[in-house]
Amino acid sequence: MRIGLVCPYSFDVPGGVQFHVRDLAEALQELGHTVSVLAPADDETPIPDYMTAAGRAVPVRYNGAVARMTFGPLSATRVRRWLADGDFDILHLHEPVTPSLGMLALWIASGPIVATFHTALIRSRPLQMAYPIVRQSLEKISARIAVSEDARRTLVEHMGGDAVVIPNGVYVDQFARAVPDERWRGTPEAPTVAFLGRLDESRKGLPVLVGAVRAVLAEHPGARFLVAGRGETGAAEARDALGEAASSVEFLGGISDEEKAALLRSVDVYVGPQTGGESFGIVLVEAMSAGATVVASDLGAFRRVLDEGAAGVLFRTGDSADLARTINAVLADPELRGRITEHASAVVRRYDWSTVTHQVLTVYEMALAGASPRERVHEDPRSRRGAAARLGTWASGRRS
């Protein structure tokens, strides 16, 4: 099968959606399919051979974060060229109502189209703005996927329709078999606690963790906190807030995939202190796969990933004092950690790419079954005039 995947966010600063698209592409290739990915990226950005760079992205505030996307007539031209060259059996768009390549491809293409929705929000002005512009085009979608029940609910409430829930995937064994790094391995006297996320985005929860550090050190004075992720502003603010306790916190900066696996394999506890806007929680699954005990906010998405608290320990979202009490309780109880990690090692198998890829392929087969015989992805003949008009409508909406 020839499969085209469209990623809305830039690989210049990769995040969860980008990693999902990348890993799905490679999992599909391992099964013998031909896959091409279109994604925003500068020409100098190192990307795999199966990816096509769609040009420089622009940072936009979206869903409480800074998303780097590309949009406009030049991007539309690149989408058309990629579609023509690809001759795809099926087109798989990610976040097709985000103003980036997925939305453009939805306007431009016709044929068997699958869409995955990642966003989970209670209320979203951008989605409310986007709906009138994409409403008719949404009818082109043959099948819809949501990465979680939270993402499905957002889709239903903002766009109507429904979707099958297929979670994000993880290469579980890559984390389970990672070699621990002695720099990050904890001991009974000096346990290690890890955090991974963008440091300058408050919803990722670093300030919540910073607020818990002193109370944890009061009971476990040898504890070490390992903070990985980009964001110099967030790191500087955290150091200022920590004061003397900053000596127990090590800021690792951005780390590679291999370093992330080693970090999660080495630490005693992984903390997910996010405060909202999370549709799934892929890093929790990675930590569970690596054998770290997960302590996480009691967000709906996190509760479901952690099997309602059986595969991790939940604390009250945004409550640093409750986070500190929870970390202290977990560090003080090795038997509790053992029970949790044992259960987690079974739970994570449902998120392994060996399972997730076959679920995605089942959706592809449904989409193809509903298409005309031998119909392939092609340019909608109405798209040139229609896309130009929609681009103008979107720009007007953004200015108002």
Question: Given this model, what pLDDT does residue 122 score?
Answer: 56
Q: What is the pLDDT of residue 400?
A: 45
What average pLDDT does range 242-254 have in this prediction? 96
Rounded to whole angstroms, the Cα distance separating 383 from 390 reads 10
Q: Does the pLDDT at position 58 exceed 80? A: no
Q: For residues 335 and 325, what is the distance between their CA atoms, to the nearest angstrom? A: 17
Q: What's the pLDDT score for residue 394?
A: 46
Residue 346's identity, in one-letter code, is A
**Which candidate, 143, 4, 10, places its Cα nearest to that of 66?**
10
Residue 395, both tokens: 């720009």
What's the pLDDT band for 386 if we cut at 50, 70, 90?
low
What one-character-per-residue DSSP string does 48-99 give?
A: -TTEEE-B--EEEEETTEEEEE--SHHHHHHHHHHHHHH--SEEEEESTTST
Question: Is the confidence at residue 391, as pLDDT, over 80?
Answer: no
Q: Which residues contact 7 (CB under 8 A, 6 or more apart)?
A: 17, 18, 21, 37, 38, 39, 40, 94, 101, 102
Among the listed ranges 188-192, 222-226, 331-335, 387-391, which one has the minimum average pLDDT value?
387-391
Region 124-150 average pLDDT: 78
Strand partners, 170: 352
φ/ψ of residue 187, rounded to 5: -130, 165
Picking from 40-54, 62-76, 105-119, which range would have the lowest pLDDT averaged per residue?
Answer: 62-76
All structural domains of the chain, each given as residue ranges with its CATH number in brackets, are 2-169+352-399 (3.40.50.2000), 172-351 (3.40.50.2000)
Provide the pairing of β-strand 51-53 with 34-39. Answer: parallel
At residue 373, the pLDDT reads 77
More confident: 46 or 341: 341
Average pLDDT rounded to a whole number, residues 188-207: 95
Share of the chain above pLDDT 90, in %: 72
Q: Residue 65: its pLDDT value, please?
A: 62
Name the least confident of 19-23, 66-70, 208-212, 322-326: 66-70
The two three-digit tokens of residue 182, written as one number = 């002695």
Task: State the average pLDDT for the chain.
Answer: 90
Give the whole-number percent of the chain exceeding pLDDT 70. 90
pLDDT exceeds 80 at position 261: yes
The candidate with the shortest Cα–Cα distance to 206, out of 233, 185, 183, is: 233
